[in-house]
């Protein structure tokens, strides 16, 4: 992932995942020189939705529930979960939130493929 300043949004990250398989990904938020930005006071949230405007989530993860959060370490946000959603295409994002707004760590389209063997 390209280093982002707090005011930048990352390029779309489109994913292809397999239903009922483990998915793991880590995110760091860094300064242009590569040093980690301290994000103490933020809360991580990752969501899959059928569209960006959908009111309900298909998958929602937070700190302690699929996300390990270390605001000053590396990776700061570590996602590790079984992809337990129906096959299809979804919009996803991973954000850090606090009272002043969101920092987008990653976002894009995720395609969940079916598993043949059950």
What pLDDT score was predicted for residue 74? 85
| Residue 81 belongs to some domain of the structure | yes
| Residue 4 belongs to some domain of the structure | no
pLDDT digits (tens, 9 = 90+) for 11-62: 899 999 999 999 999 998 888 888 888 899 999 999 999 999 999 999 999 9
Q: Please, what's the largest Cα pairwise distance for the chain?
A: 47
d(CA 113, CA 18): 5
| Residue 76 belongs to some domain of the structure | yes
| Residue 91 belongs to some domain of the structure | yes
Residue 1 reports pLDDT greater than 70: no
List of residues 6+ apart from 59 with CB closer than 8 A:
46, 47, 48, 81, 83, 84, 85, 90
Residues spanned by the domain of 45:
15-107
Sign of CA dihedral 51, 12, 66, 42: negative
Nearest 5°: the CA angle 42, 109, 97 is: 10
Residue 112 reports pLDDT greater than 60: yes
pLDDT digits (tens, 9 = 90+) for 59-93: 999 999 999 999 988 889 999 999 999 999 999 99
Nearest 5°: the CA angle 109, 80, 98 is: 75
DSSP 40: T
What pLDDT score was predicted for residue 30? 84
| Residue 39 belongs to some domain of the structure | yes
d(CA 115, CA 19): 6
| Residue 5 belongs to some domain of the structure | no
What is the domain-level CATH number for residue 24? 2.60.40
What's the total number of domains in the chain?
Answer: 1
Residue 6 reports pLDDT greater than 60: no
| Residue 77 belongs to some domain of the structure | yes
Which of the four pLDDT bands, split at 50, 70 and 90, describes residue 4?
Answer: very low
């Amino acid at each position: 992932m390209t280093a982002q300043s707090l005011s930048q949004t990352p390029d779309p990250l489109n994913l292809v995942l397999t239903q009922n398989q483990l998915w793991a990904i880590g995110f760091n938020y860094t300064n242009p020189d590569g040093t980690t930005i301290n994000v103490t006071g933020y809360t991580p949230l990752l969501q899959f939705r059928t569209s960006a405007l959908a009111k309900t989530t298909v998958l929602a993860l937070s700190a302690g529930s699929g996300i390990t959060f270390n605001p000053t370490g590396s990776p700061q946000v570590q996602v590790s979960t079984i992809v337990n959603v129906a096959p299809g295409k979804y919009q996803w994002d991973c954000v850090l939130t606090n009272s002043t707004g969101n920092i987008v760590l990653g976002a894009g389209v995720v395609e969940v493929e079916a598993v043949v063997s059950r």
